[in-house]
């Protein structure tokens, strides 16, 4: 049986459209209650950007 582990390429980055702060799924945001490996879909809907306090809805998937 083969076990697949998450690799860095499995994780995505989400960027705040207002201030440019980047949420990296691999790193999480431990100071804001998000453990390393927390997927964007698992970030609470009421979570706010730690830099500019905008809503989760103001983030976009970073594709670069």
What per-residue confidence (pLDDT) applies to 9? 59
Residue 36 falls within a domain, yes or no? yes
**61 Cβ contact list (under 8 Å, min separation 6):** 12, 13, 14, 15, 40
How many other CB atoms are there within 10 angstroms of residue 51's CB atom?
12
Residue 20 falls within a domain, yes or no? yes
Residue 46 falls within a domain, yes or no? yes
Beta-strand pair 13-16/22-24: antiparallel
Instruction: Domain of residue 19: give its range.
Output: 13-62
CATH of the domain at 55: 2.20.28.10
What per-residue confidence (pLDDT) applies to 38? 98
φ, ψ (nearest 5 deg) of residue 27:
-90, -30
What per-residue confidence (pLDDT) applies to 36? 97
The total number of structural domains in the chain stands at 1
What per-residue confidence (pLDDT) applies to 63? 82
Residue 6 falls within a domain, yes or no? no
Series of mean pLDDT values for 10-residue runs along the chain (64 residues): 58 98 98 97 97 98 86
Residue 5 falls within a domain, yes or no? no
φ, ψ (nearest 5 deg) of residue 42:
-95, -5
């Amino acid at each position: 049986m083969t076990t697949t582990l998450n690799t860095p390429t499995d994780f995505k980055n989400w960027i705040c459209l207002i201030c440019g702060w980047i949420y990296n799924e691999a790193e999480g945001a431990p100071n804001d209650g998000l453990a390393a490996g927390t997927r964007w879909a698992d970030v609470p809907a009421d979570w706010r950007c730690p830099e500019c306090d905008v809503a989760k809805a103001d983030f976009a998937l970073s594709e670069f």
